[in-house]
Amino acid sequence: MKVHRMDHVSLNVNDLQAAKSFFVDLGLEVRAEWEMEGEWLDQVLGLTDVKTACVGLGTPDGQAWIELVKYYTPSDEQDIPKPFANTLGIRHIAFAVEDIDAIVAKLKEKGTEVFSEVQQYEESYKLCYVRGPEGVILELAERIK
């Protein structure tokens, strides 16, 4: 018995189109879009009367996949939390990027919350944390060559 790889990360979002646009602007590519509902999905999720719309996005190298999921029913009526980097639980998704300065500048122009200016870690990486759609924290990391 063994784990082969991580398959994907799923993000539940209220505004599917805005989240899709954010990740496309970041450089991910739309790989699939679909809607699902019915008894089978209810049983898999342990919910009742589930209806969703989903967008699958991948990195250009095909190594990573993110699913954005909009639940039409049942909806989550709670406010979207804005956790800090030290909040317990799954906290951020890291992306290896090229030209972090240009990406961060583009995200700032679009109003994305940036935790700090780009910082250099020793002689190995330039790093920056930003807040993506629905409050998710993203780490951007550019390897210094």
Q: For the chain, which domains are there?
A: 9-73 (3.10.180.10), 92-143 (3.10.180.10)
Question: How far is the C-alpha of 114 from the C-alpha of 128, rounded, in Å?
Answer: 8
Question: How far is the C-alpha of 77 from the C-alpha of 85, rounded, in Å?
Answer: 24
Q: What is the pTM of this model?
A: 0.87
How many angstroms separate the Cα of 103 from the Cα of each of 19, 46, 67, 109, 144? 16, 39, 21, 10, 16
| Percent of the chain's residues with pLDDT above 70 | 100
Q: What is the pLDDT of residues 71-106, one digit of tens each?
A: 999 988 777 777 887 888 888 999 999 999 999 999
